[in-house]
Structure 1
Amino acid sequence: MNLFTDVRALVLETLDQMAGAGELSQGLDYANVAVEPPRDAAHGDMATNAAMVLAKPAGMKPREIADHLAARLLSDPRITSAEVAGPGFLNLRLAPELWQGIVKAALTEGTAYGRSDMGHGRRVNVEYVSANPTGPLHVGHTRGAVFGDALASLLDYAGYDVTREYYINDGGAQVDVLARSVYERYREACGLEPEISEGLYPGDYLEPVGRALAEAYGEALLDKPESEWLEMVREYATDAMMHLIRDDLASLGVEMDVFFSEKSLYGSGRIEAALKALTDKGLIYRGVLEPPKGKMPEDWEPREQVLFKSTLHGDDVDRPVMKSDGSWTYFAPDIAYHFDKVERGFDMLIDVFGADHGGYVKRMKAAVSALSDGRVPLDIKLTQLVKLWKNGEPFKMSKRAGNFVTLRDVVEQVGPDVTRFHMLTRKNDAPLDFDFDKVLEQSRDNPVFYVQYAHARVCSVLRKAAEAGIPTDDATLAGADLSGMTHEAEVAVAKKLAEWPRLVEIAGRTNEPHRVAFYLYELASDLHSLWNRGNEDVALRFIQEGDVATSQAKIALARAVSVVISAGLGILGVTPAEEMR
C-alpha cells in the first residue's frame, strides 16, 4: 500500500474528468504531477503541484486549474479539505480512516509493507569493495562495503533483480609486490631475516601466509630465482588474501554473489573482444594525446597510442587502451570487465568506488555507453573518506595491517550493526566522522541508539501486554478498532508510516540508501515523542489498564512502527534490538 501513489492516482483521475468537462485541455502530459508531503505540516497532509506544472501547456492560470481541481477532489470521501495556496499549490487533508488503514496495512503486510515493484524485475549489477587482494580491508573499504550492500538490499526491496559483485584486481603489478612480500615472510618462517624493503607490504598479516608456504614447500623455494617462484607464490598469496577479505566481509555481514577475477581476462581473448566491439563502432584509433593540463610531467613526451574515442560518449578526452609498447593500459581490462557485464544481460550497472577514483567516472561511463549503444546505464557512486576518532583523538593505525586501520579494527570496537548504521548516516559523497565513543553513546544524538531504542521500546510494550494477558499477535492487532486514534501525536506517527513506501521508491530511484537511515531516525523520533507524551497524558499510553480493546488499538500503532523499523534496518543490514542493555 502506497498512500501517496493512491492519492496521486486520484488527482490524475480528477484531471481527466476536468479535461472531459472542458475545464482543462485534453492530452496533457501528467508525468511531472507530484503528490508529496507539504513543506510545512501545518498546511495539510499532502500537497500537489498539478496546477503549477499544467498551467503553461494548458494556457491557463495556475489558480484557475487549482480551484477546479480542489472542488472536484472534495467530492471524494478520502479528501476532507483542499486549499489553494500561493500561486497554485494545492494542500490536501485526508480522512482519518486513511491513517488508520496505514497501520492495518503495516501489520497485515509485515516487513513487505513498503516493498515496491518499481524495478519490474530488471537486472542490476552492483559492484562494490573490489579492493586489491593485497591485505585486509581498511576503513575506506568498510564504508564502500556497507554502502554497496545496503544499496543492493534497497534495490531488491524496490523490485529489482540484484547481483552483488566483487571485482578482484589481481591482474596488475600490485600482486607481484604481494608475492615478493609473502616470499620475505616465507624466508622468515624458514629462519632467515626478512628483507622488507621499501615498496613491499610490511603488515604482520602476511606472517601466517609465509608460515603456511613454508609448511607446504619446506625450504625448496629458498634457492630458486624469482622467475621460478613468483607466479606460484602470487597465486598462493592472492588466494590467502581473498580468504582474508571474505572473512572481513563476513564479519560485517556482507556476502557477494560473484567474485570476478581481473586476471581471468588476460589471455582469454575477452579484452581483445571488447576492443573489437569498440573498433567495429569506429571508436578505436591510433593517435597522439594532447599534453596534460597544468604542470607538465618531466617524463612526458608525445607518442602514438591506441585510443578510445571516449569524447563521443561524454568524456573530456580520449583515453589510451594500449601503450606504445603494445601492452594494455589499466583501462583496457576494465573495459572488458564491463563489456562482460553488458554481455551477461544486466539492465543497469552500478559501481561503488572510493573517493580517489573520481577521475575515472567519465571514462568508464563512456565505455559502457559505447559498448551497450546507450542501452545500459552505469551509475558510479563515490564514497568519501572516513575519519576515525577515539577519546577525542584520531584513532591510530593498526600495527597488524602495517599502515592503516582495518575493517576488523572497526567491527571489533563497536560491532557490525553499529558500524553499518553509522556508515549510512551521511550521504556517500560526504565526508564521515566515525567517533568510537559517540557511536556507542546512549542519547538522541546517536542515531544508531535512537532507532534501536525505539524498536526495543515497542518490544517492551509487547512483553508487558503479554504479561497483562492482552493478545498482541499481528492479526489481532490489525483487526483492532483504530477509530480512537485521533490525537495529533498518534496521527503524526501514522503519517510518518505512510511515507515509508514513497521513501523506498525515492531512495531506490536515486541509489541513496542513506535516506533509509534518515527516515528511520525521524520515525523513531515520532515514536519517542508519543511515548514521552504518554508520561504526562495517561490516555496516550500504549497499555490502558483494564481496557483491552483500547490497549490493542494503541499497541497496533506501536507495533506498526517496529515493523517498519525492522524492514528499514533489514535494508541497512542491521539486526533490530529487542532490548537495550
Structure 2
Amino acid sequence: MDLFALYQSRIADALSALFPQLAETPDVLRRFVVEPPRDASHGDMSTNAAMVLAKPLKSNPRAIAEQLIEKIKEFDGVESAEIAGPGFINMRLSASVWQNVIAEINAAGTEYGRPKDAPAGKVNVEYVSTNPTGPVHIGHARGAVFGDALASLMAFSRCDITKEYYINDAGGQIDVLAKSALLRYREALGQDIGEIPKGLYPGKYLIPTGKKLADQFGDALLNMDEAEAVDKVKSIVVDSMMELIKADLAKLNVHHDYFFSEKQLHGEDGDIHKTLDWLREEGLVYQGTLEPPKGKTPEDWEDREQTLFKASDFGDDTDRALVKSDGSYTYFAADIAYHRNKFLRGFNEQIVVLGADHSGYIKRLKAAGKAVSDGKANVDVKICQLVNLLRNGEPAKMSKRAGTFVTLGDLVDEVGADVVRFIMLFRRNDAPIDFDFEVVTAQTRDNPVFYVQYAHARACSVFRNAKRDLPDLDISLDALQKADLSVLSDPAEIELIKMAAQFERVVASATEAHEPHRVAFYVHDLASAFHTFWTKGKERPELRFVNLDEQTITLSRLALVNAVRQVLANSLGILGVSAPDELS
C-alpha cells in the first residue's frame, strides 16, 4: 500500500477522534497532504493537517498540532514526530517500515503501484486528431506521446480507458485533399502535372494514393467533372491518409481504440442537428447578438442576430455562435455535438489533448461538457506547447518528405521511439521543449532517457555478475522474497528504498492531475538515486551489491536491486519506453 496514503488515513482517523465536530464537514479531512518534506533532514514524511484544519476548527495551527502529534507518536512504525514552523508535523519512520517496501515490491512485481480498486466511470482520452491530409508532423508528435502516456497511466491506475482519434473528414480541406490526389492520379497515368498549384497539398506522400486511384479507376476519372470525381474519391483518399497516419503513429507505439468520423455529426440525421434540437428544448440556445470581442476580431465573428449557445452560464467568457450566416454550423456547434456524443456513450470524464494554438478553446469546451451532461461530465483540456528541434543548440534541418513540414516519422527514424517518447514527457505539457538531437542521442547523464534506461540495464547487470561470481547462490525471485531484509539498515540503503517507495504516491497524484510527466520526473530521480548508491559501493566496499564473503547480505541487496529494477520497469512501461537489460 502507498505509505503516504496509509499515514494520511491514520492521521484523518486521529483527527476525527480528536475533533468529533469534523463529522459535519468530512471533506475537510481530504484537504491536507502527507508528503516527503522538502528538506530530507526534517524526516521521512510531513503533513500540513494542523494548518489546513485551523480555520474550520477555529483554532491555532500549533495548538492542533500539539494534540495531533501525540496520536501520531502512537502509530506503528513512527519513531519520532515533531512540530515545525507554524504547524507542520514531521515524522520519522523506523527502518522496518522501509524494509517492508522491498518485500511488497518484489511480491507485487508488475502490479506494484496499481490501486486495488478501479475508479467508477469511463474515461475518454482524445489525442492527435490531426486533419487526415497527410503524415503526422512534428507539431502533433508531442500531443501523440502525451495523450498515449496519459491513457497508459490511467489504465495502469485501473481506469476504464478509451483512446480516441477524431477524424476531421467533413471540412473543405478534404475537397482540397481529393483534388491534390487527383493531380497525382493524372501523374500516375503518365500526364505531366507540372508544378503543384498553390492551395493544393504538394507532398510526395500523395503519389502512392494517386497510383492507387489509377489502379482502381483506370482513366475513368479523367472523363468526369471535377466535382463528381472529387466526390467519388474523397473517402478513398481519406482512408489512404488514415493508413499513413496510423503507420506513423505506430512507429511511436501509439495505437487508438476508436476512430470517430466528423461526418457523423453533419446532415439532417447528424449529431449536430440532434444536439441543437436538444439544446433548444433545454433552453440553452437563444437568438441574439454578440458584442464585438476586444482586440483583434476573429474571422468567425458576425455582427448580426444569430443562434447562440449560453456558454457563459457554464463558465465561458462569452456566449457562442452555433450557426453561420450561410446556414452552416460553426466549428463550436460540432464540438458541442461531439462532446454530447461522448457523454451518451458513457464517458463522464473526457480528456482532450490539443496543440499550442488551441489554448482559447479550454473554457468553451469545458462549458460544452457541462451543458450537454447537466454537469455530470468533466472535460479536461490539455495543451501541449511547441517542440523546438535543435542540433548543437542551433535550429535543426531535416528532410521534408511531406513537402512543407517535418514528419513524426522522420523524427522517429532518426532517434528512435524511446527517445522521442521520453523527451516529450520530460517536461510539463504546457511548457515548450528544446529537442536537441546531439543531447538526446548521447550516452551521457545529460541525456535523461539514456540515464534512466542505463539504470535498469545496470540493475540487470548486477544479477549477471552475481550469477557469474556466486554460481551456487540461489538468486531466484523466490529466494529474494525470503531474504533477510533487516540487514538493509545503512542510511544509503534506506534512502534508496525511500525513493522506490514514492512510486505509488507519484502514480496516484499523476493520475488525478492527468500529468504523466510526473512519472518521467520521478523515474529520473529514482535512476539518479540508484546510480548514486552504485557509486557509493565503489567508495565503500561494504555497500557493494555482490559480496563474495557475505552471501546473506548479497541476497538482501539483490532483493533491493530487484525492487528498484521493478519500479524502473513499471515507470518506463507507463511512459511507453522500453526497459533494456543491456545497452550497447
TM-score by length of 1: 0.96
Cα deviation 1:457-496 (Å, max 9, x = unaligned): 0100111122222322223212211112112211111111
Q: Structure 2: how far apart are the matches of 1:344 and 1:298?
A: 33
Aligned-pair CA distance for 1:46 = 0.4
Deviation of the 1:117 alpha carbon: 4.8
What is the match of residue 284 of structure 1? 285
Structure 2 unmatched runs, 5+: none
Choose the corresponding residue for 2:486, options 456, 466, 483.
483
Counterpart residue type for residue 6 of structure 1? L
Q: For residues 523-551 of structure 1, what are the alpha-carbon distances to aligned partners after superposition, in whole Å with 9 as ceiling and x for unaligned?
A: 00000000000001111110111322210
Matched, 1:569 2:572: yes
Query: What's 2:83 paired with?
Result: 84
Pair 1:448 & 2:468 matched: no
1:40-63, Cα deviation, whole Å (9 max, x unpaired): 100000011122222333233222
Distance 2:101 2:474 in 1: 21
CA separation of 1:41 and 1:235: change in aligned 2, threshold 3 A? same
Deviations 1:7-30 (A, max 9, x none): 11222233334347xxx9775642
DSSP 3-state at the match of 1:84: strand
Query: Is the contact between residue 135 and residue 244 of structure 2 (CA under 8 Å) also seen in structure 1?
Result: yes
Match of 1:99 in 2: 98
Q: 8 Å contact 1:166–1:256 — kept in the other structure?
A: yes
Q: Which residue of 2 aligns with 1:402?
A: 403
Cα distance in 2 for residues equivalent to 1:217 and 1:270: 33
Counterpart among 450, 472, 475 of residue 475 in structure 2: 472
Task: Give the secondary-structure state (helix, strand or coil) at the position aligned to 2:347.
Answer: coil
1:497 counterpart residue number: 500
- Structure 2 counterpart of 1:163: 162
Contact 1:274 1:339 in 2 (8 A): yes
Partner of 1:74: 73
Q: Tell me the secondary structure at the aligned position of residue 302 of structure 1.
A: coil
> Closer, same or farther in 2 for the Cα pair 1:117/1:359, shift >3 Å?
farther
What is the rounded CA distance, in whole Å, between the counterparts of 1:343 and 1:507 in structure 2?
A: 27
Aligned to 2:218: 218
Say which is worse superposed, 33-42 or 379-388, in terms of deviation.
33-42
1:135, distance to aligned residue in structure 2 (A): 0.2
Q: Given residue 312 of structure 1, which amino acid in structure 2 is its aligned partner?
A: D
1:477–1:298 distance in 2 versus 1, CA, 3 Å: closer
> Amino acid of the residue matched to residue 37 of structure 1?
P
**Matched ranges for 1:55-454 at <5 A:** 55-117=54-116, 120-194=119-193, 196-267=196-267, 268-295=269-296, 302-454=303-455
Contact kept, 8 Å, 1:35 with 1:49, in 2: the verdict is: yes
Residue identity opposite 2:553 in structure 1: T
Distance 1:370 1:450, change over 3 A: same
Give how far 1:302 is off. 2.1
State the alpha-carbon separation in 2 of the partners of residues 547 and 274 from structure 1. Answer: 72
Matched, 1:525 2:528: yes
1:12-27, aligned counterparts within 5 Å?
12-19=12-19
8 Å Cα contact 2:311/2:364 also seen in 1:
yes
Tell me, what secondary structure is at the counterpart of 1:348?
strand
361 and 50 in structure 1: CA distance in 2 versus 1, 3 angstrom threshold: closer
Instruction: Report the CA distance shift for 1:305/1:546 in structure 2 as closer, same or farther (over 3 A).
Output: same
The answer to whether the Cα contact below 8 Å between 1:115 and 1:501 also exists between their aligned partners in 2 is yes
Alignment partners' CA distance in 2, 1:399 and 1:63:
63
Contact 2:500 2:526 in 1 (8 A): yes
State the secondary structure of the residue aligned to 1:125: strand
* 1:355 maps to amino acid: A
* CA deviation profile, 1:411-463 (whole Å, cap 9, x unmatched): 00111111101110111010011111110111211110111010000100111
C-alpha displacement at 1:31, in angstroms? 2.0
Instruction: Please give the secondary structure, in 1, of the residue aligned with 2:388.
Output: strand
> What's the CA shift for 1:405?
0.7
Asked if the contact 1:108/1:475 (under 8 Å) is kept, the reply is no
Question: Following TM superposition, by how much is the alpha carbon of 1:364 offset from its aligned partner in structure 2, in angstroms?
Answer: 1.6
Q: Give structure 1 regions of 4+ aligned residues with deviation exceeding 4 angstroms.
A: 24-28, 295-301
Equivalent-residue separation in structure 2 for 1:199 and 1:217 (angstroms): 25
Q: Please give the alpha-carbon distance, in whole angstroms, between the structure 1 residues aligned to 2:561 and 2:85.
A: 37
Say whether the 8 Å CA contact 2:203–2:403 is kept in structure 1: yes
> Which stretch shows the higher mean deviation, 199-208 or 9-18?
9-18
Q: Report the CA distance shift for 1:231/1:387 in structure 2 as closer, same or farther (over 3 A).
A: same
Partners of 2:78 and 2:94 within 8 A in 1: yes
Counterparts of 2:148 and 2:380, CA distance in 1: 15
Worse-superposed segment, 444-453 or 219-228: 219-228
Q: In structure 1, how many angstroms separate the alpha carbons of the residues matched to 2:257 and 2:211?
A: 31
Quick check: 2:35–2:46 contact (8 Å CA) kept in 1?
Answer: yes
CA–CA distance in 1 between the matches of 2:441 and 2:414?
10
Q: Which amino acid aligns with 1:461?
A: V
SS at match of 1:347: strand
Aligned residues: 578
Partner of 1:4: 4
2:163 match: secondary structure = strand
**1:139 and 1:298 mapped to 2: Cα distance?**
27
* Preserved CA contact (<8 Å) 1:121 1:159: no
Q: 1:126 to 1:301 in 2, by over 3 A?
A: closer
**Structure 1 residue 397: Cα displacement:** 4.8
What is the CA–CA distance in structure 1 between the aligned matches of 2:35 and 2:300, rounded to whole Å? 57
